[in-house]
Chains A and B, each alone.
Chain A
Amino acid sequence: MTTALHIEGLSKTYNNGFEALKGVSFEVREGDFYALLGSNGAGKSTTIGIISSLINKTAGKVSIFGIDIDVDFPEARTHLGLVPQEFNFNVFEPVEEILINQAGFYGIPRKVATQRAEHYLRKLGLWEKRRNMARNLSGGMKRRLMIARSLMHEPRLLILDEPTAGVDIEIRHSMWQFLREINAAGTTIILTTHYLEEAESLCRNIGIIDHGIIIEDTSMRQLLGRLQRETFVLDLGDTLTSLPDLQGCDLYLLDDHTLEVILPRGEALNDVFGYLTEHGIEVLSMRNKANRLEQLFMELVENSDARQEAT
């Protein structure tokens, strides 16, 4: 399979001396849905800025579908679509015009651009707003407009920098569905997000960046496989006044109807259910307390921080 994005030894030192990237290397295969995660200031946006030419790199190599950006950047750019973190369209332009202009910048004739604009505006639920000035759109609509705009030249690689920030849950789910569809149709996607359940739900591979270094680059399945302990929350139908003493798990009573169970990954919950059944206590529902990826992410970043401090 072709490599959609190849990054090698990427570093960036800003004029004020801040070293944002310290030799970042990773690769994204064609057709992948790749999560690039990191805390604020970890280096995600700098990496994306360099890939998309908005930030000049200090050192390193970036290739998009085998095209070195230092050799033929204009050609590399034709394969790249970008949805930046901040709204960066002209808010005084009508929605449809923003899309048609974007296509024009890639040399796409107006007739084709108009058809594509209609397709994406309908697909993303913005068709009724096509004549509205962009400033009059809601936050969620603006996010969808950014996605529609990035697709106007039908890029093979789409980079989304926190595309669902500030978007309500319903729209977020519809955006996830849309992203799954375009990924299934062959578009390689790189996603950065602070909603880790979003990354867990959408992405197949993952890179974690911290202090300008890639500290993890693996598949989502392998990463989640490292989870040592899991926490479940049980909503009880009856009052539980005292905690049982069960081997191999820790129990906490959050309130008299809510029980938290922490146990090693893969261990069965049968003992807990057995005890509750014995005492005639009904379990109404059960859920994971924390997002699994979130737990791992926190552990990895904390370990990385500890290593940084030690050195």
Chain B
Amino acid sequence: MTGAEKYTAFRTIVIREFLRFIRIWVQTVLPPAITTALYFIIFGNLIGAQIGDMEGFRYMDYIVPGLIMMAVITNSYANVVSSFYGSKFQHNIEELLVSPVPNYIILLGYVSGGVARGTVVGIIVTIVSSFFSDLQLYNIWVLLSVFILTAVLFSLAGFINGAYAQSFDDISIIPTFVLTPLTYLGGIFYSINMLPAFWQTASLANPILYMVNAFRYGFLGVSDISLVVSYAIIIGFIVILYFYSLNLLNKGHGIRT
């Protein structure tokens, strides 16, 4: 395939993935907006008012970056895992497998679809947030780069889950029992400085903590973790997961017999 043909193939996969989640927007785009609004009403307004300030910011403003990040993480992951497993289940992944599209283009296409959903949902959640808090912007480049890198990372993670999954149960186990707890314990609703020393150290093993804090830095200019360390962790994970995913595709894991 020439470079132009590869680009056409890549664009085709991305458009297909984009249309897939837009077509079912009631399942994919609407729920995060409602969930976020509920978080703001309950945690921000009702409980947050009792908590007071956090790191010098209103509690409502403090949790906004984490809530946006949570939406980006869960949606980019969910998009790729459900789309890729759905393609395996319906066997329409074979459309790609019998075509000359290189595996890295297939992977980048699915990941871009996940990033697209993460972005759409992230924007919607940000708009919803603006009704409840005074959004601040400390460093737009940090904000945008962490946003995109996080979406890429969790799209790759979703791809790996989709490749290994053999049933619909398998695509919900990781989000329910791993992703959600890690997200909640990733400093969305609190600063790890509030935790006892042991739990502060334990929290450092949670990769989501680095993303939430780097993203919060982009909004508020405060972070529990050094920005350099956060970037290193996020990029490191992306590189590892990318090559792992590509290896699964090259081996045909779960898609070729």
Query: Interface of A with B (CB < 8 Å)?
Result: 14-15, 49, 52-56, 73-75, 77-78, 80, 82, 84, 86-93, 97, 100-102, 104-110, 149, 153
Contact = CB atoms under 8 A, between A and B. Distances in A.
Given A56-B257, A74-B1, A90-B87, A108 B8 contact: yes
Give the dominant DSSP class at B's interface.
helix
A54 B12 contact: no
Contacts of B247: none
B94 interface: yes
A91 B13 CA distance: 16
Interface of B: 1-2, 4-6, 8-9, 11-13, 16, 19-20, 23, 86-87, 90-92, 94-102, 252, 256-257
A104 B98 contact: no
Give the dominant DSSP class at A's interface.
loop
Given A104-B12, A105-B9, A107-B9, A91 B90 contact: yes
Given A74-B102, A101-B95, 6 more contacts: A52-B98, A77-B100, A88-B95, A93-B16, A105-B100, A106-B5
Contacts of A102: 95, 99
Contacts of A108: 5, 8
A101 B90 contact: no
Given A53-B97, A55-B257, A107 B87 contact: no
B256 A109 contact: no
A88 B256 contact: no
Given A56-B256, A77-B99, A77-B100, A109 B8 contact: yes
Nearest to A75: B100
A110 B20 CA distance: 18
Most interface-central of B11, B96, B98 (chain A CB within 10 A): B98
Contact of A54 (B19, B86, B97): B97
Contacts of B257: 14-15, 49, 54-56
A55 B11 CA distance: 27
Contacts of A80: 98
A88 B99 contact: no
Given A54-B98, A55-B257, A56-B256, A88 B90 contact: yes
A173 to B, nearest CB: 28
A105 B95 contact: yes
Contacts of A73: 100
B11 A104 contact: yes
Nearest to A73: B100
Contacts of B23: 92
A119 B91 CA distance: 26
Contacts of B11: 104
Contact of B92 (A78, A82, A89): A89
Given A101-B16, A106-B5, A84 B100 contact: no
